Amino acid sequence: MKPLSLLLAVGIGTFSVACLPLEDRPVGNANVPQPSKRVELTRYLGKWYEQARYEASFQAGCEGVSAQYALKPDGHVSVINSCRQGSPSGAQKTSEASARVVEGSEGAKLKVTFFWPFEGDYWVLDRAPDYSWSIVGEPSGRYLWILTRSPAVTPQQYSALVGRAKMLGYDTALLRRTQQ
């Protein structure tokens, strides 16, 4: 397949996954809260490790999931998501995106573009005062991610984070623990 044809095929596949009817995805929170804490972008930048998520087709089989955020010269945020296929030592796959802070959101809402011109919502619903963990969702309540700065957390830390997600109204029975 020629490079342009391959790019188009991948792009259409990505778009079709993102456009699955929402009713075909489980609702984990019918009343998604608005982010309640200001997010200082410079403190949020850096590497995050996924501890748990609502399963999504675009992350099928992913373990060892991480995201790297960096400030770009134009003020947008570079996003590099990585995962390992099947296990924490599996083949690595990455996807790159660009994000921008939504005006008036105090830094807690971003619009992320993996495939122009389509944007997705990224809401930092809760975070630690020291930015050691965050709980990320979006308006439909069908996606949720629990992220930490460290690849490993204790069972007590994990339980506390799941408890915070539950307090935000999420069905924590739908969480899938990520192997790191």
CB 32 within 8 Å of CB 139: yes
**Which residue has tokens 């995050």?**
48
Nearest partner of 79 among 43, 122, 141, judged by Cα:
122
Nearest to 145 by CA among 51, 70, 79: 51
Q: CA-to-CA distance for 129 and 138, rounded, in angstroms?
A: 21
SS3 state of residue 60? coil
Evaluate whether 122 touches 137 at the Cβ level (below 8 Å).
no
Percentage of the chain modeled with pLDDT above 90: 81
Report the predicted TM-score, pTM, of the whole model to 2 decimal places: 0.85
User: For residue 20, is pLDDT > 60?
Assistant: no
Give the pLDDT score at 14.
38
Q: Beta partners for 52? A: 146, 177
Q: Which residues pair with 85 in a beta bridge?
A: 62
Instruction: Indicate if the pLDDT at residue 146 is higher than 90.
Output: yes
What local confidence, expressed as pLDDT, does residue 116 receive?
Answer: 83
What does the block give as tokens for 4? 């342009």
- Spatial contact of 58 and 14, defined as CB atoms under 8 Å apart: yes
Q: State yes or no: pLDDT of 21 exceeds 60.
A: no
pLDDT per residue over 86-126, tens digit each? 999 999 999 999 999 999 999 999 999 998 889 999 999 99
Q: What is the mean pLDDT of the chain?
A: 88
Tokens linked to 93: 């796959």
DSSP-derived secondary structure letter, 120: E
Topology annotation, domain 27-177: Lipocalin (2.40.128)
pLDDT of 24:
59
